[in-house]
Structures are given as structure tokens and as C-alpha cells.
Structure 1
């Protein structure tokens, strides 16, 4: 486990970086020239970055990036109870 404290400006920058990386990976995952093990590695990376992105944004924002396919499980919005 690793902790990180960010101010508001740094948080916005992290959101932006993660979002751009997700979009780049989505584009690459649709490229038919990329095959097999490379796509699996990209999918694993996508899932890691997606989980990080979820920590910075509201469910409405990250739901745009949920991938539904046979090999990935569906992601449910986090339920926060008090």
C-alpha cells in the first residue's frame, strides 16, 4: 500500500493524465494490427489505470470507461455508506 497526498491542482492533473492514458489505450485496443499477448498486456494495464482513475472521479465520470467483454468483470459503482 502506498499513500499519496495531492492538492486540488495536482488532483486535477492526475485525473487528466489518467483519462488521457485510458483514451489512448482504448484506441490501441481497437487496433486490429495488435494481437495476442500484447493486447492482453494492454488490457491489464487498462484495468490498473482504470482502478486508479476511479479513485479520483465520480461514478458518472468513470462509467464512460468501463469495458464490458467476456474476459473482464463488470465494475459496479462504489457504495459509500456512513
Structure 2
């Protein structure tokens, strides 16, 4: 386990960066031209980013970015 000490401004910047990356992934996941294998990797990346996001964002913000349920499995 690792620890990290950051101030509020740094936390806000990290939150902003993660949100922008997740927004781009969500946008690209809806693009029908992207291959299924690429989308799977993008989905895995989104889930990892969301786990990081949960550690720094408040509950209300987390609800906005909650990963969608998978249709098939």
C-alpha cells in the first residue's frame, strides 16, 4: 500500500484530470466505429480511473460517473 499527501488544490486538479479522461472514454465508448477489443480495453481503463476517482471525489460526483452495467456477460 502506498500513501500520498496532497493539498486541496492538488486534489482538485487530480479530480479534474480524471473526470476529463473518463468523459473522453465515455464519448469514445459510444462510437460504433471503434473495434470491440479496443472498447473492452477502454472499459477496463474507465473502471480503473473510477476506482481512483472514488478516493478523491465526493459521493455526489461519484454518482455522476458510476460505470454502466454490462449488457452481456
More helix by share: 2
Paired residues, number: 71
Determine the C-alpha separation between the residues in 1 that align with 2:69 and 2:42.
14
> Do structure 1's residue 25 and structure 2's residue 25 form an aligned pair?
yes
**Partner of residue 70, structure 2:** 70
Q: Helix, strand or coil: the match of 1:54?
A: helix
Give the alignment's TM-score, normalised by structure 2.
Answer: 0.89
Task: Report 1 or 2 for greater relative contact order, CA contacts < 8 Å, sequence distance ≥ 6.
Answer: 2
**Partner of residue 52, structure 1:** 52
Determine the C-alpha separation between the residues in 1 that align with 2:15 and 2:70.
28
Determine the C-alpha separation between the residues in 1 that align with 2:16 and 2:40.
24
Which consecutive aligned stretches of 4+ in structure 1 deviate over 4 angstroms post-superposition?
none
**Partner of residue 9, structure 2:** 9
